[in-house]
Structure 1
Amino acid sequence: MEGVVQLINRLQGVATLVGDNAASDKSLPGLWELLPSIVVIGGQSSGKSSVLEAVVGKDFLPRGTGIVTRRPLNLQLVNNKESEDEFGVFLHRPNEKFTSYDAMRAEIEAETERLLRTEGKAVSPKPIQLTVTSPHVPNLTLVDMPGLTKIPIDGQPKSIVRELEDMARSYIKGDNAIILAVTPANADLATSDALHLAREVDPAGDRTI
């Protein structure tokens, strides 16, 4: 099973390198859509970051108000019981090991700013890929999506609401995507943006957690 997970991780890395991600403009299914993944969706400040950090057991994701996650983060967790070393490797910096989780957070923020500044956009569907190797994590691939919002704030373009929905929809529509819909514990599930979007692509709830 571990060999299969590692193979999937490598194939997702190849797909990202060649620009074949779930949000790519294409008429035929790409490699990304054919590979299994757990896609985490939810509204802004819904607790997505806390869920992901609980899986990893470390604080490493950017925090703040508004849209903090502005690009999908493809987080590949690799369990290595043969060593106590914990480190992260980014696809865009393949020759460098990040041994500090604070440094991983800073790199996620820096790479997000770099691309968005280049593209002149508020958000982008192009993912950041991070592989974390540790003896304390399960073998999993998780995709952290930008938080959904109902209204644009702080100078965000009016199109931001639709952009975020379309981006999340493109990542969860594939039959091999497991949807982890995060909703605050004090919120009414009937008004959950994440569950509403999940039901659009998975009406029976077969792929939704």
Structure 2
Amino acid sequence: MFEISEYQDIIDKINKIRSYGLNKMLTIPQIAILGDQSSGKSSVLEAITKLSFPRNIETCTRFATQVSMRRSERIEMSAYIEDEPEFNERYSAQDTEWDINTIVSEANRILCSDVEISEKVLEIIISGPTTSPLTIIDLPGYINTTIDGQSKNIVKTIREINTRYINDSRTIILAVVPAN
């Protein structure tokens, strides 16, 4: 069995490889949180990551949010959205912690300005000396019907996004159901 320091050394090497853009070649496990809309997925994400995510109805999860936690000597936090250089520059690695609500709200404005659900991913990268190495993804909640004003394609789009993660062999599914 590995000692904690040996495990951390392996994770550090994997993160170094990831930093060179080779993460698509690695099959490192990730946890995807799945469930119906308003079932408590973001609360589970918050409990695991110790970050405070928005939970009101206007900011329900409308795109995948990947939280990549890594161990490092310095506390840093950054956020990234593919093909959004202005956003990426604003939230590049800093010695300070950004407000998650601000990041998610801005990502929501950018990604969902002309669509109800975006297929793009918001990646939040957190590192620090006590951070446990983990990748966890908050996915849009399943809905069965649409309400007035919503596109009929929203149900299909959510299923397609979530199915991509379900079909990924490295994904561990964390199913969330409401307790009420």
Shorter-chain TM-score: which interval? 0.7 to 0.9
User: Structure 1, residues 57-91: CA drift from partner, whole Å, max 9, x if none?
Assistant: 231x12211661111111011234x56x4x42113
- Aligned residue among 133, 136, 161 for 1:139: 133
Q: Shift of residue 110 of structure 1?
A: 0.5
User: Structure 1, residues 90-111: CA drift from partner, whole Å, max 9, x if none?
Assistant: 132363427345x222112102
- Alignment check: 8 A CA contact 1:148 1:164 kept: yes
What is the identity, as a one-letter code, of the residue corresponding to 1:11? Answer: R
**Which residue number corresponds to residue 159 of structure 1?**
153
Q: Shift of residue 133 of structure 1?
A: 1.8
Q: 1:3 to 1:158 in 2, by over 3 A?
A: farther
Larger relative contact order (CA 8 Å, sep ≥ 6): 2
User: Structure 1, residues 11-35: CA drift from partner, whole Å, max 9, x if none?
Assistant: 389479xxxxxxxxxxxxxx27944
**Which residue number corresponds to residue 109 of structure 1?**
105
**Which residue number corresponds to residue 177 of structure 1?**
171
Q: TM-score, normalised by structure 2?
A: 0.77
- Alignment check: 8 A CA contact 1:13 1:129 kept: no
**Which residue number corresponds to residue 64 of structure 2?**
72
- Aligned residue among 81, 96, 99 for 1:99: 96
Q: 1:111 to 1:66 in 2, by over 3 A?
A: closer
Distance 1:72 1:110 in 2: 14
Asked if 1:124 corresponds to 2:118, the answer is yes
**Which residue number corresponds to residue 89 of structure 1?**
78
**Which residue number corresponds to residue 18 of structure 2?**
11
- Alignment check: 8 A CA contact 1:56 1:137 kept: no
Q: 1:46 to 1:121 in 2, by over 3 A?
A: same
**Which residue number corresponds to residue 44 of structure 2?**
51
Distance 1:53 1:122 in 2: 23
Q: Shift of residue 131 of structure 1?
A: 0.7
Q: TM-score, normalised by structure 1?
A: 0.67
User: Unpaired segments of 5 or more residues in structure 2?
Assistant: 1-6, 81-87
What is the identity, as a one-letter code, of the residue corresponding to 1:90? Answer: A
Distance 2:62 2:95 in 1: 21
**Which residue number corresponds to residue 162 of structure 2?**
168
- Alignment check: 8 A CA contact 1:42 1:183 kept: yes
Percent identity of paired positions between Structure 1 and Structure 2: 28
Distance 1:14 1:52 in 2: 26
What is the identity, as a one-letter code, of the residue corresponding to 2:18? Answer: L
SS at match of 1:150: coil
Structure 1 vs Structure 2 CA RMSD? 2.8
User: Structure 1, residues 150-204: CA drift from partner, whole Å, max 9, x if none?
Assistant: 1112522111111111110111112111111111123xxxxxxxxxxxxxxxxxx
SS at match of 1:175: coil
